[in-house]
Structure 1
Amino acid sequence: MPTLPPEHSRSSRLEAHQAREIAESFGVDAARYDRARPRYPSALVRRIVAASPGPEVLNVGCGTGIEARQFQAAGCAVLGVEPDARMADFARRGGVEAEVATFEAWDAAGRTFDAVIAGTAWHWVDPVAGAAKAARVLRPGGLLAPFWHVFQLPPDVAQALAAAYQRVVPDSPFTFPPDKQGLDAYQPLATRAADGIRAVGGFGEPEQWRFDWEQSYTRDELLDLLPTQGLLTRLPPERLAEVLDGVGVAVDASGGSVTMPYTTVAVTAVRTSGT
């Protein structure tokens, strides 16, 4: 789900994990985020659980607790780490234990885990420092598994979003180019995650897992989802409304609903013993 594709910057090559003002902007409407963001494929959850040596899971960037609740339902004990206190509070109200900190600064206090997961959040973590921290808190044989949702807007809707955003925020260093969606936008983030894992050592060779699926949205459902994207969370209400109006016109022209193909990509690596 492209929230900050660094290769699309028109100014400096800002790394995602350095853009703290965006990384910590999602809590502006935590209820909408939890309601609108899609859940992760059950096949992904089952595969991570099966590949982990036990049920204790650390959820980096747990947000409102979406993936944490899914792993709890699969029998796991989940601890969340979340830099935005508003998101962490929402997660706690949903039954997820959550501590407020960036992962890099978080104090594990000697605790270790069978898996470290991150749902559409690892790009907000320094890829080397994050992998090193994961290596310290994972038990031998434990699994590091950051994963991302990637979706493909229909071309006419993507073009309407790009046009509306560029009209409303003409001086933004970021864009929504329709030809850079899906895996084209997110593969660099997965590659950086794998490179960070290799750089710190202590892990086996990273693997990339892929799960393809699709989801249909009514006009209202899509317009509920889009404000949870990182480039829209900080827009003033009147500017956000103008962007959504432009997208709404395109959805209406498409019959009032859209079906979007999704790919969920995970980068996984096993913590080796004796390192």
Structure 2
Amino acid sequence: MTAESQLVGRHIFGADAAGYASARPHYPESLYIALATEGTLVPGADVFEIGPGTGQASRRLIAADVGSLTLVEPDPVLAVELAGLGGGVRVVNAPLEDAGLSAEAFDLGVAATSFHWVDTSRGLSMVRDLLRPGGVWAMWWTVLHDPEADPFSRAVLPLLKDAELPPSLRGPEQRHYSLWTDDRLAELRAAGFMHAAHQMHEMTVRMTAAEMRALYATFSMIRRMAPPMRARVLDGIEAVGEQGFGGVIERRFRIPLFLARKAPGAA
């Protein structure tokens, strides 16, 4: 990933925080059950989250009665929004590399649809250092645009042929970063984690064509377009939903979850 891509990810979503918050689907409860099963999303746990955005996952972490929650959010607009989540939440307005968090201070670290904006090798080494021995790192993504497995994504693919792809999508078929399972597991092991594992969660949603337009409007590759082009692409996406799918689209989103643990005796 280029330095330019990292900079884009640090400011582009705050330009429409309200639209992002309303358009993106929530994560399935099965994710949080998996974290609880690992024994780290428990009352009193010290947790940090990388790139919380508008706080979708953050709110659910708070609801688990964690002891502390530190949110590392580089976008200044989103950081202000997150500060309203209430007491016990610390917001650090900086990228992970500059956050200055204390080593071995956390039981659990998470990144929800955000870690593709971080330099992987450096970032994984940093989050490992932040965890206490035996602590758990969890990263997951909702694969919202999936031409491989989703008919709606395939139908709108021609509209996106000139888009500048974000680091989460690769190649002409726009395959999602999180679906390269072996690569992600190998990176976790290379960073010194043990018990690196992968789970695939799913959820089915029904969205109108207008809701689908609003969802795609949150994607960085569309937000980076010049306004006239963005409007044309979004008009086309809504038209696909109306004309090709009867105005209501049922989609099955895949949510790959990666879990890894810092060795109990690791420093």
TM-score, structure 2 normalization:
0.85
- Quick one: distance in 2 between partners of 1:94 and 1:193? 31
Letter matched to residue 163 of structure 1: P
Name the CA distance, whole Å, in 2 between partners of 1:195 and 1:178: 21
Aligned to 2:29: 42
Number of residue pairs the alignment of both structures matches:
253
Match of 1:69? 59
Instruction: For 1:1-275, list aligned pairs within 5 A.
Output: 15=1, 19-24=5-10, 25-53=12-40, 54=42, 55-76=45-66, 77-95=68-86, 96-110=89-103, 112-151=105-144, 152=146, 154-155=150-151, 157-166=152-161, 169=162, 172=163, 174=165, 180=173, 184-187=175-178, 190-201=181-192, 203-253=193-243, 254-275=245-266
1:191-225 superposed Cα distances (whole Å, 9 cap, x missing partner): 44323321222x21310011122111011111111
Q: Deviation at 1:61?
A: 0.9
User: Where in structure 2 are there 5+ consecutive unaligned residues?
Assistant: none
In structure 1, what is the Cα distance between the partners aligned to 2:2 and 2:170? 18
**CA shift digits 1:54-83 (9 cap, x unpaired):** 522100111111101111112223211011
Note if contact 2:6-2:118 (Cα within 8 Å) is conserved in structure 1: no
Give every structure 1 segment of 4 or more consecutive aligned residues whose post-TM-superposition deviation is greater than 6 Å.
175-179
Q: In structure 1, what is the Cα distance between the partners aligned to 2:4 and 2:36?
A: 31
In 1, Cα distance between the equivalents of 2:246 and 2:102?
54
Structure 1 unaligned segments of length 5 or more: list them. 1-14
Paired residue secondary structure (2:142): strand
Residues 98-128 of structure 1: per-residue CA shift (max 9 Å, x gap):
2111112220145611100000111111222
RMSD across aligned C-alpha pairs, in angstroms?
Answer: 2.5
Q: TM-score w.r.t. structure 1 length?
A: 0.82
One-letter amino acid matched to 2:65: G
Per the alignment, residue 4 of structure 1 pairs with: none
The percent identity for this pair of structures is 27
Task: Give, in angstroms, the shift of residue 239 of structure 1.
Answer: 1.7
In 2, are the aligned partners of 1:138 and 1:271 still within 8 Å (CA)? yes
Greater RCO (CA < 8 Å, at least 6 residues apart) = 1
